[in-house]
Homo-oligomer: A and B are copies of this chain.
Amino acid sequence: MSQEHEAAGTIEDRLMQRFGTLTPTERLLAGHLTRNFPVAGLASMTYLAKEAGVSTPTVLRLVQKLGFRGYPEFQAQLRNEIEARLESPLSKHARWTDGVPQTHILNRFADAVLANLTRTLSRIDHADFDACAEMLADPKRRVLVTGGRITHALADYLVTQLGIVRPGVSALPSQSSTWPSALLEMRPGDVLIVFDIRRYESATLQLAEMAAERGADVVLITDPWISPISAHARFRFAAQIEVPSAWDSSTALMVLIETLLAAVQELNWPQAQDRMTRLEALYERASMFRRGKG
C-alpha cells in the first residue's frame, strides 16, 4: 500500500504530461494553474477552485491524478519546488568543494555564508551607504573605532585599512575604563564606528550614547537583531551572522567593512593613492633599516 506515486518530475512537468488524460473541467483548472504557476497552487483548495471556476472536488481529483495523495501533499511538493527555484540563481549552482558530501562542513558552511552575504548586501540602503562613505571620506572628521569581545578584531582591521586611505583614524582602547578620556577628546563632527553583536555590551551602549551627545556621528555595525545603540546611530548596517556552528560568523561584517572601505577609497582616490605610495615607501625604508647594515 505504501508504494510511492509513479509520477515523477516537477509539478509543471506532470501537468503537461497528463494534460491529455484530463477531463474538460480539469483542463480548465490545469490551464489556470499553469498560467498562474506556481503561486496559484499555494492558496487553499477552495480559493483555487473559485479562481479557476471549478469545484473543490475537481481540484482534489486533478491533484490526485498528478500522483499526490491529497492537496496538502501537493502543496508541500510545490513549496519545495519554489524553494529550489528561488535559491537556484547562484547558490545551489555548484557544490563548493567536490569530493566531499554535501553534508561536509565545508559545503554547509559555504552555503550559509553565501546566504548571509546575499541577504546582507541586499538589505543595504544604498543611499545610507553612499552617505556614510562620503562622511568617512571627509578627512576633516576624525574617526574612532571600537568593537566588543569578538568584534574587536574587525574593528582592528577597519582601523588598519581605513588608516591607509585617510588620516585621523584610530581605535579606541579595549579597556572601557579609559573611554571617558577618549570622550573628552571627542569633537562634534567626529565619527564613532561601533561594532556591536548579539550579546550587546552595556559599556558600548553608554559610549555610543555619550558620543552622540557630544555631537559625534555614530555608525553602528551590527547583526539583524539590531543593537540598542541603534537609537543613537546616524548610520546602521546589519549583517547576517548565522552559520551552522555555536558562534556567529563575521564574514558578512567583513564584507560590509571592505565594501565601505572600497567606497571611501574610490571617493578620494588621489589623496588615498598619495598616502599609499608614501606609506609604501616608509615600510620599504623600515624593512631596509631592520635587516640593513646597522
Chain A residues packing against B (C-beta within 8 Å): 12, 16, 19-20, 27, 31, 34-35, 38-39, 42-43, 75, 79-80, 82-83, 85-86, 89-90, 92-94, 96-100, 104-106, 109-110, 113-115, 117-119, 121-124, 126, 129, 149-150, 152-154, 156-157, 160-161, 164, 199, 201-203, 224-226, 228, 230, 238, 240, 242-247, 249-251, 254-255, 258-259, 261-263, 265-266, 272-273, 276, 283, 287, 290-291
Contact = CB atoms under 8 A, between A and B. Distances in A.
Given A126-B106, A246-B265, A224 B34 contact: yes
Given A153-B154, A199-B283, 15 more contacts: A16-B226, A20-B228, A39-B79, A42-B42, A105-B259, A106-B263, A109-B262, A110-B117, A117-B117, A150-B161, A153-B156, A203-B290, A245-B262, A245-B266, A247-B265
Copies of this chain, whole number:
2
A113 B124 contact: no
Given A153-B157, A265-B246, A90 B109 contact: no
Contact of A243 (B96, B105, B262): B262
A247 to B, nearest CB: 7
A16 B238 contact: yes
For the complex of A and B, list the 7 residue pairs with the smallest distance between their C-beta atoms, beginning with the closest: A89-B93, A153-B157, A153-B156, A96-B121, A39-B83, A245-B262, A100-B126
Contacts of A122: 94, 96-98
